[in-house]
Amino acid sequence: MDFVNCYADASRADAYATLEFANTYYLAYRDLPAILAEHVTGTRALDFGCGTGRSSRFLRKLGFNVTGVDVSEDMLRIARGVDPSGDYRLVPGDNFDELDVETFDLVLSAFTFDNIPGATKARIFRDLGKLLAQNGVIVSLVSSPEIYTHEWASFTTKDFPENASARSGDVVRIVVTDHQDRRPVEDVLWTDESYGEIYREAGLQAIQVLKPLAKGDEPYAWLNETRIAPWVIYVLRRGK
């Protein structure tokens, strides 16, 4: 495995497990039911980078049969404890040989690619594409470059002014304020253009790109969410 999961320790995993679908995170998940209803035709789903199972449980509630995979045993320990009936598996990097489902109608990746370096990104996307059924899609939810240079309901970046000069591939730092662990998370900045290159290299094409904004009437104390999108959602198919 040639990348490091920044939550691969027990205290980070415990903190991450307390996160809900609130504040800035609300915008990451708000539009997913409609997106999946439009683009996904079956029920077999892979949650790549499932962490403590938040996204896997979200998909289960939408009617999907979900297999969650992650590189962090600490995260999976919590996922299995919260959801004993769920299917959560440890995978070394992108080694999917142990999966007993040959193809998936949906591969969801929520925030997983934020801290994966570029060369590894391309390889993993290529391997995930091979897992898709004929009409399957990958839904990749990632942080926008702007998330690292503004203040948010769920995050702060004010202590990291160097983020403003970061380019694709550079390490950027951000602190999650929705839980008690205030250690900075180290991510890898990646622009729309860079993701486009990665997708082409992996044999994928984006059929929809969404940048969700808050409407202003939600029950959250928005900072920049009504005018700057903190997230980007890519809907991907294998290229023709």
Domains of the chain: 10-145+191-238 (3.40.50.150)
- Ramachandran angles phi, psi of 85, nearest 5°: -85, -5
Q: Which of 1, 9, 159 has the alpha carbon at shortest distance from 78?
A: 9
What pLDDT is attached to residue 102? Answer: 77
pTM for the complete prediction?
0.92
- Give one DSSP letter per residue of 111-123, joined into a string: SGGGGS-HHHHHH
Q: What pLDDT digit, counting tens, does each position of 120-154 carry?
A: 999 999 999 999 999 999 999 999 999 999 999 99
Six-digit token string for 29: 């998940």
Q: Rounded distance, CA 87 to CA 80, Å?
A: 8
pLDDT (tens digit per residue) in 74-107 = 999 999 999 999 999 999 877 787 777 779 999 9
Token pair, residue 222, equals 């928005």
pLDDT class for 11, splitting at 50, 70, 90?
Answer: low
**Which pLDDT band, with edges at 50, 70 and 90, does 57 fall under?**
very high
* Cβ neighbours of residue 133 closer than 8 Å, sequence gap 6 or more: 42, 44, 103, 104, 105
